[in-house]
Amino acid sequence: MTTTESADVVVVGGGTAGSVVVRRLVDAGHRVAVIEAGPADGRPEIGSPFGAGALFASEVDWALSTVPQSHANDRVLYQPRGKSLGGSTILNGMLYIRGAHSDYDAWAAAGATGWSWREVEPYFRRLENYDGAADPTRGAHGPLRVHRNTDPDPLVTAFVDAAVQAGHRFNDDYNAGDSRGVSYTQATVDDGNRVTAWRAYVSPVADSPLLRVITDALVTKIVIENGRAVGVEYVHDGERHVIRADREVVLSAGTFGTPQLLMLSGVGASADLRQHGIEVVADLPGVGRNLRDHVASPVVWESGRAVPTPRMTGIEAQVIADSGGTGATEPDRQAVFLSFVYSTIAENLPEQGFTALAILLHPHSHGQVRLRSANPGDPLLVDPGILSDPRDIEAIVDHLESLRDIARHPALADWITSEVHPGHDRVSRDALRDYVRASAGSGHHQVGTARIGTDPLAVVDPQLLVHGVTGLRIADASVMPTTPAGNTAAPTLMIGERAADLILGTH
């Protein structure tokens, strides 16, 4: 074991939130080391908005799997996660959405003091470089280019028009005020290129003498001495190293990596840790619990017309809605329109067609992650408990019907030859329930495994400091108490911005 060097702050993971923390600390004059398990940002596909397909299941994807999901026909669900500088922003869908104001107010009310919408909104403005019309609610000078879809093709336009005909209001900017309605999407693309968190935040300061970037380095443990995190252990080129943190360690390893490292370091439910022979440093039973994710089921249509080549990302329109009828008054449904055929069911897919994904934004079902073993190289046991709460199946069935309703409106009439999934023969609620169990998949928006709060199952306090350990902070999607009403990259970047202020004491 060699102790290579030290930094003021050691950041574990050069992913979405990690990139933000690194940049803000370097700008403030701190010596920062970032340790990333994956390789440097080298694959050419990362730069393309259409390159993710080549990255899935490659060396830059953790490619985790769930355990068989007993409420979803015992299917094992694929859980992609970026493994390179930029983290999951190297292969995500690039859709940019802040979430509903009520999400953050609910976090604050449940114990995440300081995280209400009023308090987090300035951080969204700070991170954005939005290219739409000037608006006091939007940021125009941040590091992250957010591009407004100004050039929708005729099919995307037809979907938006059909949604309006079905009663959804047209929302010109779902990130300004109420997110509900049908909209053309905003995406993290700049001049036709994917914008990753690393490229937006860290590339401009890559040559700073304050920054040390260590890639291909799997962090295996947080070094905790007398209750204080003083550095991390990592493996690089087969050698074990320790890097010390003079000020603090920031865990930005994501919703899976962060709880895994906590548990490997003795921070977690004591009974579970002992079962793997890990010495308990802090008994925190909430570590790894509260795994939350959006759940999605597709409607796939065959088209007799040539589907236009996507102009921005292929995810170019969305509907945000509340189900109302079930008592919801805040957004709880999203439908994203995909200009291509996408389904977890591989059979009978048309050569030419398109998809709308019925997504539940606040599913009742949730699960947990657990260690498989004390070996840091072993993947976690991931159990999202998908559809374990029957209310979710009913809500997806309702949502699928609402998408069918959109498709029945005149604007889409010329585009649809037939509904392939769920399919015209699936009419009864029972048949649709079967379809949901066969088709529902991850929204890829996993959060919550190290959530903010002050109750016994909370993992970090509202300053993002780990309960029971000093000098250890978490900045990534794992701290979100619940899924926001939208995709999770923008809220994760906001968390990175706020974490930086908390570290710097400028909050």
Binding site for ligand FAD (CB under 6 A): 12-18, 35-38, 80-83, 87-89, 91-95, 218-219, 252-255, 257, 261, 444-445, 476-477, 487-490, 492
The rounded distance, in Å, linking the Cα atoms of 229 and 226 is: 8
User: Could you tell me how many residues make up the chain?
Assistant: 507
Nearer to ligand FAD, 49 or 385 (CB): 49
Min dist. Cβ of residue 305 to ligand FAD (A): 26
- Burial string for 82-106 (b: 16+ CB within 10 Å, else e) reads bbbbbbbbbbbbbbbbbbbbbbbbb
How far apart, in Å, are the Cα atoms of 423 and each of 299, 335, 357, 397, 400? 8, 18, 14, 13, 11
The rounded distance, in Å, linking the Cα atoms of 436 and 439 is: 5
Nearer to ligand FAD, 66 or 92 (CB): 92
Residue 171 region by backbone torsions, left for phi larger than 0, else alpha for psi between -120 and 50, else beta: beta
Min dist. Cβ of residue 294 to ligand FAD (A): 9
Residue 326: how many other CB atoms lie within 10 Å = 11
The rounded distance, in Å, linking the Cα atoms of 360 and 330 is: 12
Min dist. Cβ of residue 484 to ligand FAD (A): 9
Min dist. Cβ of residue 487 to ligand FAD (A): 3
122: cis peptide before it, omega within 30°?
A: no
Closest CA to 258 of 502, 479, 49: 479
The rounded distance, in Å, linking the Cα atoms of 176 and 97 is: 10
Nearer to ligand FAD, 98 or 289 (CB): 98
Decide if 283 contacts 274 (C-beta within 8 A): no
Residue 378: how many other CB atoms lie within 10 Å = 12
Min dist. Cβ of residue 185 to ligand FAD (A): 9
* Beta strands, E only, 339-401: 353-360, 368-370, 381-383
What would the DSSP string read from start to end of 195-257?
--HIIIIIGGGTT-TTEEEE-SEEEEEEEEETTEEEEEEEEETTEEEEEEEEEEEEE-SHHHH
Nearer to ligand FAD, 262 or 406 (CB): 262
Min dist. Cβ of residue 353 to ligand FAD (A): 21
424 is catalytic: no
Min dist. Cβ of residue 37 to ligand FAD (A): 3
Q: Indicate the burial class of 456 (C-beta count within 10 angstroms; 0-12, 13-18, 19 or more).
A: exposed
The rounded distance, in Å, linking the Cα atoms of 222 and 205 is: 26
Min dist. Cβ of residue 392 to ligand FAD (A): 20
Active-site choice (147, 445, 467, 507):
445
Nearer to ligand FAD, 402 or 487 (CB): 487
Min dist. Cβ of residue 444 to ligand FAD (A): 3
Beta bridge partners of 353: 302
Residue nearest to ligand FAD (CB): 15
Q: Which SS3 state, helix, strand or coil, does residue 82 take?
A: strand
Provide the 8-state DSSP code for 310: P
Give me 307's structure tokens. 């589907």
Closest CA to 152 of 417, 411, 401, 349: 411
Nearer to ligand FAD, 62 or 435 (CB): 62
The rounded distance, in Å, linking the Cα atoms of 11 and 35 is: 6
Residues annotated as part of the active site: 445
